[in-house]
Amino acid sequence: MSESTETGMASPEAASGAPAEAVPERRIAIVGAGPSGLFAAQSLIAQSDVPVRIDIIDRLPTPYGLLRYGVAPDHTSIKSVANALARTFDDPRVRFLGHIQFGTDTSREELLAAYDAVVYAVGASEDAELGVPGEHLAGSISAREFVAWYSGHPDAQPQHLTGVTAAAAIGVGNVAVDVARVLVKSAEALSTTDMPEAVLAELGRHDVSDVWVIGRRGPHLASFTTVELRELVSLPGLTVTVNPDAFDGIPDDLDRRTKANVEILREAAARGEGDGPRRLHFAFWRRPVALEGTERVETLVLERTRLDESGRVVGTGETERLPVELVMRSIGYRSIPVPGVPFDERASVVSNVEGRVVDAEGVVRPREYVVGWVKRGPVGVIGTNKSDAAQTVRHLVADLGADLGADLGAEATAAGGPRRDIVDVWAERGVKPTTFADWQAIDVAEIERGAALGRARTKIESWRELLDLCRSAD
Ligand SMILES: Cc1cc2nc3c(=O)[nH]c(=O)nc-3n(C[C@H](O)[C@H](O)[C@H](O)COP(=O)(O)OP(=O)(O)OC[C@H]3O[C@@H](n4cnc5c(N)ncnc54)[C@H](O)[C@@H]3O)c2cc1C
Ligand SMILES: NC(=O)c1ccc[n+]([C@@H]2O[C@H](COP(=O)([O-])OP(=O)(O)OC[C@H]3O[C@@H](n4cnc5c(N)ncnc54)[C@H](OP(=O)(O)O)[C@@H]3O)[C@@H](O)[C@H]2O)c1
């Protein structure tokens, strides 16, 4: 299949009408084995204009990024997307080079010397901050940290819920819905998930009875999706309340999704008290202005809000105090600069035009590309990354096509001789990547651990155990 459809350019044969000279194979490095990196690899191997060989590098010995360490453990059907992404590695042209941190174990210069093109797919590993007093008190964490903990990310700090009876999630996106659901769902319902045993034990014994979800605008302006909202408020036995003024000033001409969200909230609030021990409270038109407490968070101070004439959120000056021992800001993830690569600090993304990396003046940096959350910001579901990666790959293949025959990556070969395999370059400094077979050994161990406990999988969250399993796969 010539990828005239995929790449938008004619193959050399088609362009000249005569058999073309053999097109040289191009080596591509993709940094980040999350959904966007793997979709980029799939797009590259699906095209036939330029023969490619692809290395997918990740700082973890496990692929799939936030699909493994973000998507909620009780959402098993979306987790199964990993099976489709795993097929990327069935192709002999694709290698997984795990446990290699870009910026520490390898660099932009090193990759540009070893490859014809580099695609950055490192996602968003930090989070946005509220910028209010008390934000860094103990008991105030980001939803990202809470998610990383219950997902068994090896870098996650253990979370302790002892002494927490009321918790608040700030923000009304799908991540807020996820963290709220994990806290209000019964231990029994969570016990079938792949959460590490220590996490399940903590979630099985906590006394959190009240969970608040705080939106700085109205329910019609919330970014959670209808399916996720309905699932949350429909949990058996759950009492749901919504502040009465939440529905003030909601326009009549809502789109279908928004209308459904508002209806679901109205109905859940009208249902009255559930027969379970937990309560979920939505508080719209409220924004945090301070977190207070002596050693740890004791009170969340909220200010009532409204929209000004230009639609911006403004405070009314009227405040309320909410007693909570845990605050999870769920106001968005944030990408951090990729060492050596131009970064748009305002948007927190790698500077790019449709996936081609550009410098501060907007001039294209040849051979460098970007996909996923670090390209467009921390929004979009897994599927969004597929079309996003395809756009970048179209440009990449067109650029490689335009350079057919040119000595790409000339700096690598300036000293003479063929370009060296990056694995040999790393080996000289004692850096050894883990492989896809290593990941499969982890996968098998997790499935076996789960089977022993009557579950489909139990995640291994310790770096030491993960790396021991990699070594045992050698
Ligand atoms: C909590 C949460 C739940 C979600 N739930 C869903 C859901 O249910 N359904 C859905 O469709 N979407 C969901 N999403 C959205 C989805 O996860 C994202 O759209 C998607 O993961 C973004 O893909 P990405 O490849 O850009 O980033 P990521 O998935 O973050 O992948 C980035 C990869 O880069 C690696 N990396 C980072 N830095 C380096 C470095 N310096 N060197 C080497 N490797 C590095 C990381 O280890 C990671 O593997 C959720 C998102 C979050 C935050
Ligand atoms: N099941 C799923 O499909 C699933 C699950 C999880 C995540 N995801 C996806 O992953 C992406 C990220 O989700 P997300 O929830 O992190 O982001 P999000 O959808 O952008 O939601 C962020 C929320 O934080 C609020 N917020 C931002 N800054 C704030 C501030 N300073 N003070 C108070 N509130 C603030 C926003 O309110 P404003 O609107 O007022 O700015 C918004 O309600 C989304 O595309 C989401 O759909 C999908």
Q: Give 213-244 pLDDT, tens digit per residue.
A: 999 999 999 999 999 999 999 999 999 999 99
Contact 350, 120 (CB under 8 A): yes
CATH, residue 225? 3.50.50.60
Task: Please state the separation of Cα 452 from the chain's center in Å.
Answer: 30
Q: Which residues contact 123 (CB under 8 A, 6 or more apart)?
A: 32, 34, 36, 65, 66, 333, 335, 372, 373, 374
Asked if residues 305 and 314 have their Cβ atoms less than 8 Å apart, the reply is yes
Q: State the pLDDT at residue 14.
A: 42
Instruction: Examine residue 445 and state whether it is found in any structural domain, yes or no.
Output: no
Going along 123-218, which residue ranges are E strands?
126-127, 140-142, 166-170, 210-214
165 located within any domain: yes
How far, in Å, from the CA of 331 to the mean position of ligand 2?
A: 5
How many residues belong to the chain? 474
Domain membership of residue 48 (yes or no) is yes
378 lines ligand 2 (CB under 6 A): yes
Q: Which of 333, 355, 370 is the last residue of a domain?
A: 333
Atom of ligand 2 nearest to the CA of 333: 16
Please state, in angstroms and rounded to a whole number, the distance separating the CA atoms of residues 61 and 81: 19
- Mark whether 72 and 215 lie in a shared domain: no
Give 21's pLDDT tier (boundaries 50, 70, 90). Answer: low
Q: Nearest 5°: phi and psi at 335?
A: -80, 150
The residue among 299, 333, 367 that closes a domain is: 333
Distance CA 34, CA 372 (A): 9
Closest residue CA from atom 5 of ligand 1: 71
> What's the CA-to-centroid distance between 449 and ligand 2, angstroms?
34
Question: Closest ligand 2 atom, CA of 228?
Answer: 1
Q: What are phi and psi of 295, to 5 degrees?
A: -105, -30
320 plus 387 within the same structural domain: no
Residue 451 maps to a domain: no
Write out residues with Cβ below 6 Å of ligand 1. Answer: 31-37, 57-60, 65-67, 70-72, 75, 78, 101-103, 121-123, 125, 147, 175, 178, 333, 372-373, 380-382, 384-385
Q: Do 164 and 307 fall into the same domain? A: yes
Strands in 143-285 per DSSP E:
166-170, 210-214, 239-242, 279-283
Choose among 179, 158, 154, 170: nearest CA to 73. Answer: 179
Mean of the pLDDT values across residues 170-199? 97
Q: What confidence category does residue 12 fall into, taking pLDDT thresholds of 50, 70 and 90?
A: very low
Looking at 284, 312, 333, which one is the last position of a domain? 333
Q: With respect to residue 286, please indicate whether it lies within any of the assigned structural domains.
A: yes
Residue 381 CA to ligand 1 centre (angstroms): 10
Q: How many CA atoms lie within 13 A of 207 on its CB side?
A: 6
Distance 380 CA to ligand 2 centre (A): 10
- Specify whether 158 is located in the same domain as 262: yes
Supply angle C-alpha 237, 239, 245, rounded to 5.
Answer: 160
Average pLDDT of the residues of the chain: 93
The reply to whether 276 and 209 lie within a common domain is: yes
Q: Does a structural domain hold residue 275?
A: yes
Q: Same structural domain for residues 193 and 288?
A: yes
158 plus 268 within the same structural domain: yes
Phi/psi at 244 (5° precision): -55, -35
Residue 465 lies in a domain: no
Please indicate, yes or no, if residue 466 is contained in any of the structural domains. Answer: no
Q: Which tens digit of pLDDT belongs to each residue from 407-456? A: 565 544 544 456 899 999 999 999 999 999 999 999 999 999 999 999 99
- Domains held by the chain: number: 2
How many C-beta atoms lie closer than 10 Å to residue 406's C-beta? 11
Q: Look up residue 9 and give its amino acid.
A: M
Q: Are residue 353 and residue 215 in the same domain, yes or no?
A: no
pLDDT in tens, 52-97: 999 999 999 999 999 999 999 999 999 989 999 999 999 999 999 9
Identify the residue whose C-alpha is closest to ligand 1 atom 21: 66
Write out pLDDT tens, residues 301-315: 999 999 999 999 999
**Do residue 172 and residue 97 come from a single domain?**
no
Instruction: For ligand 1, pick from 69, 122, 141 the residue to mutate: most ligand atoms within 8 Å of CB.
Output: 122
Lowest-confidence segment of 247-251, 416-420, 459-463 by average pLDDT: 416-420
State the distance from the centre of ligand 2 to the C-alpha of 169, rounded, in angstroms. 11
Residues 115 and 174 in one domain: no
- Tell me 406's DSSP state: S
Residue 65 CA to ligand 2 center (angstroms) comes to 18
Same-domain status, 179 and 323: yes
Q: Is residue 10 scored above 50 in pLDDT? A: no
CA of 117 to the centre of ligand 1 (A): 22
Who's near 132: CB < 8 A, 6+ residues apart? 288, 289, 290, 291
Q: CATH number for the domain including 25?
A: 3.40.50.720
- Same domain? 85 vs 162: no
In sequence order, what E strands does 7-102 have? 26-31, 52-57, 94-97
Contact status, residue 102 vs residue 338, Cβ threshold 8 Å: yes
Cα(79) to ligand 2 centroid in Å equals: 20
Give me the domain span that covers residue 237: 128-333
Contact 218, 250 (CB under 8 A): yes
| Beta carbon of 397 within 6 Å of any ligand 2 atom | no
Q: Does the beta carbon of 334 sit less than 6 angstroms from any atom of ligand 2?
A: no
